[in-house]
Amino acid sequence: MFGNTEVSYLRTLPLERQREVLDSLFQEELACVVVTKGIDPPQALAEACEKAGLTLMRTPLLSSAFIQQVQSFLEESLTESSSLHGVLIDVFGVGVLLLGKSGIGKSEIALDLVMRGHRLVADDIVDVTRRRQGVVYGTGNAVIRHHMEIRGLGIINIKDLFGVAATRASKTVELVVKLERWEEHREYDRLGLDENVYELFGVRVPLICMPVAPGRNLATLVEVAARNQLLRSRGLNAARDLVERLERQLQEQETPPDSEEEPRSGEPR
């Protein structure tokens, strides 16, 4: 990148010296050359770029603004990314990723949550990226963004039906809820002490395996799970606190109170 300072310095050099400096610089592995602030590139710079086979570009942006935009673009373009079959929704400010087999009811749960005032990020295809260490973002696929498939209804547009406030472009993935068919003889976690995780690009996201059965209000359960995740992120764990309280109570019951010694015969009571 050549800004006002670099171009001004280059022009103070004799033409042959300019060519020597640029030839030496362009021996490095460069992607392109950009002149900022709308400055006309010196003739020696244009010749050196053509000789080295480098693209020469010019932008009206200041050097600082250009660097910032390029950094943001490269972070977005070069980061790890993938696509998942699921639904991402913002529930009480918590990014909840719903996973499960096709037809298990992910979209219906998301629709119920939208009608309760929560915000849809993506349905069916969730594009996930790790933009910085320890944080995974999810966005909607550009082709089907704001759209949702509901069996029996077909394709609906959440933004058109409920307004722009019912959607958002992206959200961090902070909780994964995996929907599973209810199995009668399977043991499910009833206390919430198990801390399961779902790995996305090496980032460990809290995981809840939620059985699906007739009569269960799954939208309400997802809301409660999101609220509970907010509390856990602040160091409050209801299941752990209850177990600790029960353990203290049991210890107190097992320890007999100190009894007074019986007085000896002849001694006053």
When computed from its CA atoms, the radius of gyration of the chain, rounded to whole angstroms, is 31
Q: Is 101 a catalytic residue?
A: no
Q: How far apart are CA 22 and CA 62, in angstroms?
A: 22
Q: Is 189 a catalytic residue?
A: no
Q: How far apart are CA 83 and CA 256, in angstroms?
A: 60
Q: How far apart are CA 211 and CA 221, in angstroms?
A: 11
Q: Is 106 a catalytic residue?
A: yes
Q: Is 40 a catalytic residue?
A: no
Structure token digits, residue 216: 């269960």
Catalytically annotated residue among 106, 118, 119, 145 = 106
Is 105 within 8 Å of 87 (Cβ atoms)?
Answer: no
Catalytically annotated residue among 185, 186, 190, 269 = 190
Catalytically annotated residue among 11, 17, 85, 216 = 85
**CA atoms within 13 Å, Cβ hemisphere of 140:** 23
Nearest to 178 by CA among 239, 221, 131: 221
Is 150 within 8 Å of 134 (Cβ atoms)?
Answer: no
* Residue 36 burial (CB count, 10 A): 22
Catalytically annotated residue among 23, 37, 124, 168 = 124
Active site residues: 85, 106, 124, 190
